Structure 1
Amino acid sequence: MAIGHGPPPTGGAIRVGIGGWTYEPWRGTFFPDKWPHKRELEYASRQLTAIEVNGTYYSTFKPATFAGWAKVVPDAFVFTVKASRFCTNRKVLGEGGESIARFCGQGLVELGDKLGPILWQFMPTKKFDADDFAAFLKLLPARQDGVALRHAVQVRHGSFHVPEFIALCRAAGVSLVYAQSADYPAIADVTGDVVYARLESAIEEEPAGYAPAALDHWATVAHEWAAGASPAGLPCAAAPPPRKPRDVFVFMINGAKVRAPAAARALLDRL
């Protein structure tokens, strides 16, 4: 399968991927039989165009680890990195400055131009507090060791579905994650320079995780996001921002995880 990393004719680049690359059920379904475990990132990065790193949510990694990942993957491949739970799973977000600095300073910049947005994911029980969330957004560094950082926040409580929250994200230049899930409300407002989508409803009965019509739909939506549009039919809390091309990241994640690689590849085919 040919993998396209570049921008479509009318917009930003669209990248599609999965969460992580080490998952036993993918061996023999996504990875070829007897493929060496140590070379799974090498293989996955040549079938997809992005990977969301989830291990950083639980643990700290050494700079050499990030540098090693960057050397394995092809040019234009991009990692997004989930921030540590110690930054987001706290009662007072505005008191997380030390944890945020520690996370951003662990060596992420060793990924170089393969570093995509940092994902800051909040618990479904976390409710919107305008003052505290504004304080949190101010703690997110624009640069680390001279490297520009991009940030995306995923909130999972209905109280965030208000114009005030959208305005905070736009003022900070932080992207809002659109998560298509049966478990919590989705917010599709475009707020930053990139669009970050997590599609979380794959089913095992579908060989590609999603029905062909659903994949066609998400391909259309991704092209609209890349062209700077706010696609109709998605739940938004505020008026759309000015139209401009944006890079788009779409991850097939959760749901029937065994189908995630097939879903990502099927979407890439349509793009």
Structure 2
Amino acid sequence: MVGEIRIGISGWRYAPWRADFYPRGLPQRAELAYAAERMTAIEVNGSFYALQRPASYQRWRSEVPDGFRFSVKGPRFITHMKKLADARTPLANFFASGVLALGPVLGPVLWQLPPTLGYDADRLRAFAAELPRSTGAAASLARQHDQRLDGEGRAWTASEDDRPIQHVLEVRHDTFRTPEFPELLRELGIGLVVADTAGRWPYFEDVTADLVYVRLHGDSELYVSGYDDPALDRWAAKVLDWADRGLDVWVFFDNDTKVRAPKDAMALIERVRAART
């Protein structure tokens, strides 16, 4: 079977996009709906910086069309501060913060490690053992949140169904350049992010789960440069090949500084659609 392809952007609230990608005068509250009409997925990255609220996730869900999906970026408190250790309560807080309120529009959960954190198989095994692999398991974990999420409307600990949750990992330290690493992720059932970082951090195309998750941070300059036509053609070919192998493919452009991300995402969507029609 051919896999699904979803293409979009990492985040959607950027001041430089206003009066450029977003039409002049478009209210900020309408930006998500505008972007979602032109993409097939968006990566929630505000969750990386701070726990969001259930009301926010509910609102985002209501503003996107049928068939749209969100991926959600895990908190830097877990990846950068805790460095994946003693993560059970922070994970409970994260999943209780409203992630499950997305219901059927919830896609993969992204975990991005800092450049200072090297490869440690035992650390990764211990963290993977704490990750909920279904929405039902995530709801059960969410009910173990601490007092930070006590109070009216602060926690969401229910799941509408019990379906799989996919987790993907992005790494940025050279010690991950070992054949043992993708083999470990295959064992753990975690996807390895294909991260194009203009050569700054390790690049992998190893398939370690039943999805491929791509983050395009810039073709030649990190977070800044866009992708020209030849580069987009190459990425379209890769995406189509992965999907033809039966893998679901998620692609997010994170080269937002010069308003390249949404334009590049739409250009890649056009290429993939043209190839499939």
Tell me the TM-score normalised to structure 2 length. 0.83
Structure 2 match to 1:161:
177
Change in 2 beyond 3 A, CA 1:140/1:24: same
**1:70 aligned partner, one-letter code:** R
SS in structure 2 at match of 1:86:
helix
Q: Distance in 1 between matches of 2:270 and 2:128?
A: 36
Runs of 4+ in 1 over 2 A off after TM superposition: 90-94, 145-148, 254-257
Q: Distance in 1 between matches of 2:44 and 2:258?
A: 15
Q: Contact 1:203 / 1:255 at 8 angstroms: preserved in 2?
A: no
Q: Contact 1:119 / 1:151 at 8 angstroms: preserved in 2?
A: yes
Q: What do the CA deviations read for 1:8-55 (whole angstroms, capped 9, x no partner)? A: xx6111111111111111112111121111100010000111111110
Out of 173, 183, 188, the residue aligned to residue 205 of structure 2 is 188
SS in structure 1 at match of 2:260:
helix
SS in structure 1 at match of 2:19:
coil
1:256, CA displacement in angstroms?
4.1
Structure 1 match to 2:98:
107
**1:269 matches 2:260:** no
1:147, CA displacement in angstroms?
4.5
Out of 2, 10, 25, the residue aligned to residue 11 of structure 1 is 2
Q: Distance in 2 between matches of 1:165 and 1:104?
A: 26
**1:223 aligned partner, one-letter code:** L
**1:30 matches 2:21:** yes
Q: What do the CA deviations read for 1:228-257 (whole angstroms, capped 9, x no partner)? A: 2xxxxxxxxxxxxxxxx1111111113644
**2:43 aligned partner, one-letter code:** E
Question: Any residues of structure 2 matched to 1:167-186 within 5 Å, and which?
Answer: 167-182=183-198, 183-186=200-203
**1:113 aligned partner, one-letter code:** P
**1:89 matches 2:80:** yes
SS in structure 1 at match of 2:16:
helix
Structure 1 match to 2:64:
73
Tell me the TM-score normalised to structure 1 length. 0.85
Q: Contact 1:121 / 1:155 at 8 angstroms: preserved in 2?
A: yes
Q: Distance in 2 between matches of 1:15 and 1:256?
A: 22
Q: What do the CA deviations read for 1:138-178 (whole angstroms, capped 9, x no partner)? A: 11111222453110011111111212211221112111111
Q: Distance in 1 between matches of 2:251 and 2:7?
A: 5
Structure 1 range deviating more: 51-60 or 84-93: 84-93
Between the aligned residues of both structures, percent identity stands at 45
For structure 2, which runs of at least 5 residues remain unmatched after alignment? 140-161, 273-277
**1:58 matches 2:49:** yes
Change in 2 beyond 3 A, CA 1:90/1:33: closer
Q: Distance in 1 between matches of 2:257 and 2:244?
A: 30
Q: Distance in 2 between matches of 1:203 and 1:162?
A: 25
Q: Distance in 1 between matches of 2:122 and 2:99?
A: 29
Out of 39, 43, 59, the residue aligned to residue 48 of structure 1 is 39
Q: Distance in 2 between matches of 1:90 and 1:138?
A: 19
Q: What do the CA deviations read for 1:90-146 (whole angstroms, capped 9, x no partner)? A: 465232221112112222111111111000000011100111111111111112224
Structure 1 match to 2:259:
258
SS in structure 2 at match of 1:95:
coil
Change in 2 beyond 3 A, CA 1:147/1:257: farther
Q: Distance in 2 between matches of 1:102 and 1:260?
A: 30
**1:199 aligned partner, one-letter code:** L
**2:127 aligned partner, one-letter code:** F
Q: Contact 1:202 / 1:260 at 8 angstroms: preserved in 2?
A: no
Aligned length, in residue pairs? 243
Q: Distance in 2 between matches of 1:12 and 1:213?
A: 24
**1:47 aligned partner, one-letter code:** R
**1:119 matches 2:110:** yes
SS in structure 2 at match of 1:17:
strand
SS in structure 1 at match of 2:43:
strand
Change in 2 beyond 3 A, CA 1:202/1:92: closer
**2:233 aligned partner, one-letter code:** D
